[in-house]
């Protein structure tokens, strides 16, 4: 089989050549995904029939141009893509080349938040009141009918980029004055009623039509980065009173949407002040931040590796996760603060820290965080209880803030 791989992830963390046995692979990748050090770079790119690196990977149409050129030369049998920003591009290629896998009609309900919520509502999955907004009149009409506060966000955005909470008439006026609702081109936004909430993530994997892992974590607000707050998540314990209800809601959402027979999923769920669970969003891809790490720490399986192996029948039978976590896990992202990085500790001495990942380099000039996953350091931890994990994360974040030299 000849497989085209579209990749945004660091190649050090996605070993496609190792995971896919007996097939020929071509790679189109973000330049930033490849290590700069020559020996590591050579190892990461070894084994591919051809590699195309693209600088402005997420925003460049050259990706699809290169893909079509390669297909004319090679005639691919399959396209593999895992990043949220690649799902539709890969779907368009498959459809155009008449290949199996997700086509646009099954990706859009996961990628477009309006279509997602429309599909969920039709199947009785509770969501906040919502509507598509393409212009100022559309937003004002929604506010008239639903009242403030409202949330306005891109229909196909990610990582909380471009999300605006309009709490009062002054913030509405400011958004109308400076926001994207002008001109003759539709803005492709979603407006929804703001719901005060406790946030949960639910992450898992479907293999051959069966949900094999599905587990919730509590998380702080994804919009906290605007105020410089850490993003903190910790898996729920099996006896948590909301655990089974969260799992049931997300399993129903996976069933309601056109989910592939083999798929990773990442959901966000609100617990309202009235004690009602509402599905906020769900994607057919791995969660961001350190979701992949905390699932692996808790269940002993790498969802990304399992997904790739399952797609290409390459040793996926080795994965047999327990029904419940083997240990409690969680993560914290420490957002950047303005200044120049002068020193980066190579490790964190706090007991219980399992993953310590600096994401800035010495001499780098930092500004304010741009998204919920923008951070100086990402940390994952384990413990015997959720409370213990949260304590470790708090101590590790405090140590990092003091030890990381930003001036």
Q: What is the tens place of the pLDDT at every residue in 252-290?
A: 999 999 999 999 999 999 999 999 999 999 999 999 999
Specify the domain boundaries for CATH 3.30.470.20 within the chain.
197-406
* Least confident stretch, 62-76, 149-163, 386-400: 149-163
Please check the confidence at residue 316 and state whether its pLDDT lies above 80.
Answer: no
Q: How confident is the model at residue 161 (pLDDT cuts 50, 70, 90)?
A: confident
CB atoms within 10 A of CB 197: 18
The predicted model scores a pTM of 0.94
Closest CA to 1 of 314, 307, 317: 314
CATH number of 2-101: 3.40.50.20
CA 38 – CA 47 distance, rounded (Å): 16
List pLDDT tens digits, range 165-174: 999 999 999 9
In order of 9, 153, 171, 204, 294, the CA distances from 166 in angstroms are: 33, 11, 5, 32, 33
pLDDT at 228: 80
Query: Which has more pLDDT, 353 or 223?
Result: 353
CB atoms within 10 A of CB 261: 11
List pLDDT tens digits, range 79-127: 999 999 999 999 999 999 999 999 999 999 999 999 999 999 999 999 9
As assigned by CATH, the class of the 129-193 domain is: alpha beta
pLDDT at 313: 81
Q: How confident is the model at residue 183 (pLDDT cuts 50, 70, 90)?
A: confident
Q: Is domain 197-406 annotated with CATH 3.65.10.10?
A: no
Specify the domain boundaries for CATH 3.30.1490.20 within the chain.
129-193
């Amino acid at each position: 089989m000849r497989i085209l791989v579209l990749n945004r992830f660091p190649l050090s963390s996605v070993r496609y050549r190792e995971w896919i046995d007996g097939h020929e692979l071509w790679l189109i990748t973000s330049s930033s995904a490849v290590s700069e050090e020559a020996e590591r770079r050579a190892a990461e790119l070894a084994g591919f029939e051809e590699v195309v690196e693209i600088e402005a990977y997420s925003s460049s149409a050259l990706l699809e141009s290169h893909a079509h050129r390669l297909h004319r030369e090679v005639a691919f049998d399959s396209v593999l893509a895992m990043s949220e920003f690649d799902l539709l591009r890969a779907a368009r290629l498959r459809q155009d080349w008449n290949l199996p896998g997700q086509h646009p009609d099954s990706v859009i309900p996961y990628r477009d938040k309006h279509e997602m919520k429309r599909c969920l509502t039709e199947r009785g999955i509770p969501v906040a009141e919502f509507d598509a907004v393409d212009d100022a009149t559309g937003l004002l009409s929604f506010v008239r009918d639903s009242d403030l506060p409202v949330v306005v966000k891109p229909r196909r955005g990610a990582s909380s980029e471009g999300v605006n909470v309009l709490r009062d008439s002054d913030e509405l006026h400011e958004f109308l004055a400076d926001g994207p609702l002008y001109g003759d081109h539709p803005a492709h936004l979603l407006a929804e009623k703001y719901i005060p909430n406790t946030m949960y993530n639910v992450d898992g994997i479907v293999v051959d039509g069966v949900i094999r892992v599905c587990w919730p974590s509590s998380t702080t607000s994804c919009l906290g980065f605007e105020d410089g707050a850490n993003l903190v998540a910790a898996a729920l314990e099996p006896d948590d009173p909301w655990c089974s209800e969260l799992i049931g809601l997300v399993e129903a959402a996976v069933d309601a949407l056109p989910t592939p027979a083999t798929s990773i999923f990442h959901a966000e769920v609100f617990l309202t002040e009235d004690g009602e669970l509402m599905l906020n969003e769900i994607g057919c891809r791995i969660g961001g931040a350190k979701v992949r790490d905390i699932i692996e720490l808790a269940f002993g399986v790498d969802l990304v590796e399992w997904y790739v192996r399952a797609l290409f029948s390459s040793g996926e039978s080795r994965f047999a996760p327990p029904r419940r976590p083997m240990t409690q896990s969680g993560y914290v992202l420490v957002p950047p603060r303005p200044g120049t990085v002068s020193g980066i500790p190579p490790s964190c001495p706090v007991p219980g820290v399992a993953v310590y990942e600096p994401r800035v380099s010495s001499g780098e000039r930092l500004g304010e965080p741009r998204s919920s996953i923008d951070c100086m350091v990402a940390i994952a931890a384990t413990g015997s209880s959720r409370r213990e994990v949260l304590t470790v994360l708090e101590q590790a974040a405090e140590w990092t803030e003091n030890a990381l030299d930003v001036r």
